[in-house]
Amino acid sequence: MQRVIAIYPGTFDPPTNGHLDLIQRGARIFDELVVAILRNSEKAPLFSVEERLEMLRECITPWENVRVESFAGLLVDYARERGAHAVLRGIRAVSDYEYELQMAWMNRKLDPSLETVFMMPAGAYSYLSSRLVREIGALGGALGGLVPASVESRLRERFRDAQAAPR
């Protein structure tokens, strides 16, 4: 029987408990799940791709069928290279749907053989985003329950360094 491979692409700056929740769900239904960090993002990231690779690799140890990579260029090209059948994306609320649907349609236009599968994270993460986590971290707010402990300590370190740097 053919093994079903899915790519879970994103920026993951930083990875959150919502991302991990989706990885857990994806790991249950796909034979292999590749978490893929976009390298050539237009966004200026807080963490380098290497730091995000490390953070995600520290978090995915419970799942044997999950691995983490980075990619550049078109997602459909990367998915084809990896022999993937599906792209996994999370939808937290209706507000995510429009952007996700547009991407899914465009990816289908570029490669009709690649399916996009949407999954919902646990309701507790429906308001969680990397952008809010960065903002809370920068302003010294509590991050418990929002990100894995290892990510939280890196965020604290990053913002401590930023405060210590001369202006």
Annotated active-site positions, please?
19, 43, 92, 130
Q: How far apart are CA 162 and CA 167, in angstroms?
A: 9
**Of the candidate residues 11, 24, 65, 129, the single one contacting ligand PNS (CB under 6 A):** 11
Contact between 9 and ligand PNS (CB under 6 A)?
yes
Interface with ligand PNS includes 103 (CB under 6 A)? yes
Q: Which residue is nearest to ligand PNS (CB)?
A: 10
Nearest residue to 11 via CA among 120, 130, 145, 127? 130
Asked whether position 106 contacts ligand PNS by CB under 6 A, the answer is yes
Distance of CA 80 to the CA centre of its chain: 19
Contacts of 147 (CB under 8 A, 6+ apart): 14, 15, 16, 17, 133, 155
Nearer to ligand PNS, 130 or 137 (CB): 130
What's the length of the chain? 167
Q: How far is the CB of 164 from ligand PNS (least distance, A)?
A: 29
**Using CB under 6 A, which of 26, 35, 107, 133 touches ligand PNS?**
107
Residue at token pair 């960065």 = 134
Question: Residue 4 or residue 103: which is nearer to ligand PNS going by CB?
Answer: 103
Question: How many CA atoms are closer than 13 Å to the CA of 83, on its beta-carbon side?
Answer: 6
Contact between 132 and ligand PNS per CB under 6 A = no
Binding mask 51-70 for ligand PNS (x = CB under 6 A): --------------------
**Separation between Cα atoms, residue 23 and residue 151, nearest integer Å:** 16
The two three-digit tokens of residue 110, written as one number = 């570029």
Residues at the site binding ligand PNS, with contacts judged by CB under 6 A: 9-11, 38, 74-75, 103, 106-107
